[in-house]
Structures are given as C-alpha cells and as structure tokens.
Structure 1
C-alpha cells in the first residue's frame, strides 16, 4: 500500500496549526487537488473531541472522485485522525500531529496510508497523489502565514 509521512517545523503555534488543519471546510481554498469539501455532520463529544463526517472531492485533469471520511479532532492530544468510510479507496488512513517545539514554533507531523480499489486508478493516480502529498506541508504553512501572519 502506498504511504507518505513527513514532519515539518513551522513558525506557528501548535494550537493555531491544529485549528487550521481542523478547519476542513476551508481546504478547497488552498489544499492541492481538493476541489470541494462538505461536512455532512459534526458532533461535539463530552471529552472535548469533535467528530466530523465529510465528503471531499479531489480533481486532477479528467479525474474527479469524492470520498467520505470520519475526521476526529483531539485538541487535548493535538492530533487529528482521518478514517476512510466510502469512495474509490480500498483503504485510507490519515493522521496529523502537532508538537510544540519552542515559543511560537511547532512540528507538524503528517501520515497517510492508502490504496485504491482499482489497480488501474491506483497506477494512474499514484504518482500524482504522491506529488500532492509532498506539497501539503508547504500549502498548510503558507495558509498559516496568510491567516496568522508570517
């Protein structure tokens, strides 16, 4: 199964980065390949966690697919977990972590593991997805600079 992981130090607070990544409705404005994102449901849990069910549409040239995920925001742990529910994948797991590295600095961890249902789709989209994932860190950092200042 293809997977990708990265850690990236950014000049922004871990809480700010957690909020920015957790604001999934804004993804179409700056996330590579994300054409649309609709939150179907949101539930605030008693322990401070928030669970979202979201449909994300990714598009590249003639390719366009929508998939549904369960997104769990864990602010006390500074973790965001994404669990695949439905769409063109056989499997998709995504995890974000945010760790304070100093005053106004944090380390953002990104991990994704996925497999398309169709081998043909997987071979067509694999390279393009890999390139997009490599741009994620800089896209979120640029967005943080825009929202919170550089």
Structure 2
C-alpha cells in the first residue's frame, strides 16, 4: 500500500494549525487536486470533539473522482483522524497531529496510506497522488501564513 508521512516545524501555534486543517470547507481554495468539498453532516461529541462526513472531489486533467470520508476532530489532543467510507479507494487512512514546539511554533505531523480499488487507476494515479501529498504540508503552511500572518 502506498503511504506518505512527514513531520516538520511551522511558524504558527498548534491550535491555529489544528483549526486551519479542521476547516475542511476551505480546502478547494488551496489544497492540491481538491476541486470541491461538501460536508454532508456534523455531529458534536463530548469533550469538544466532533465528527463530520464529507465528500471530496479530486481532479487532475481528465481524472475526476469523489470520495467520502469520516473526519474526527479532537481539539484537546490536537489530532485529526480521517477514515475512508466510499469511493475509488480500497483503503485510505489519514492522520494529522499538532504539537507546540515553542512560542508560535509547532510540529505538524501528516500521515496517509491508501490503496485504490482498481490496479489500473492505482497505476495511473499513484505517482500524481504521491506528488500531491508531498505538496500538502507546504500548501497548509502557505495558507497559515496567509490567514495568520508570517
């Protein structure tokens, strides 16, 4: 199964970075390949946690696919967990972590592993997805600079 992980420091605090990543409705404005994102529903849980179900449409040239995920936001832990529900994947798991590392500095951890249902689609899209995931961290960091200042 293809996977990708990264961990690096950014010049923003963990709470701000958590909030930025948790604001999934804004992804089409800056996330690579994300053409559309629609939140189907949101449920507030105890301890400030919440769960949402969202459809994300990714597009690149002639390729366009929509998949559904369950997103669990854990603000107290500064963790976001994404679980795949439906679409072109056989499996997709994504995890974000945010840890303060000084004044207005945090370490952002990003992990994803996935497998397409179709080998053909996997071979066509695998390289492009890998490149996009490598750009995710910088896209979110650039967005944080824009939203919170440098």
Q: Which band: TM-score by shorter chain?
A: over 0.9
What residue is the counterpart of 2:16 in the other structure?
A: 16
C-alpha RMSD over aligned residues: 0.4
Shift of 1:47: 2.0
What residue is the counterpart of 2:51 in the other structure?
A: 51
Q: What is the CA deviation profile of residues 79-133 of structure 1, one whole-angstrom value per residue up to 9, with x for unaligned ones?
A: 0000000000000000000000000000000000000000000000000000000
Shift of 1:8: 1.4
What residue is the counterpart of 1:140 in the other structure?
A: 140
Give the distance between the partners of 1:142 and 1:74, measured in 2 at CA: 23
Partner SS for 2:137: helix
Shift of 1:37: 0.1
Partner SS for 2:48: coil
Aligned residues: 150
Does residue 3 in structure 1 map to residue 3 in structure 2?
Answer: yes
What residue is the counterpart of 1:64 in the other structure?
A: 64
Q: What is the CA deviation profile of residues 19-60 of structure 1, one whole-angstrom value per residue up to 9, with x for unaligned ones?
A: 000000000000000000000000111221010000000000
Runs of 4+ in 1 over 3 A off after TM superposition: none
Shift of 1:69: 0.2
> TM (normalized to structure 1)?
0.99
Gaps of 5+ in 2: none
Gaps of 5+ in 1: none
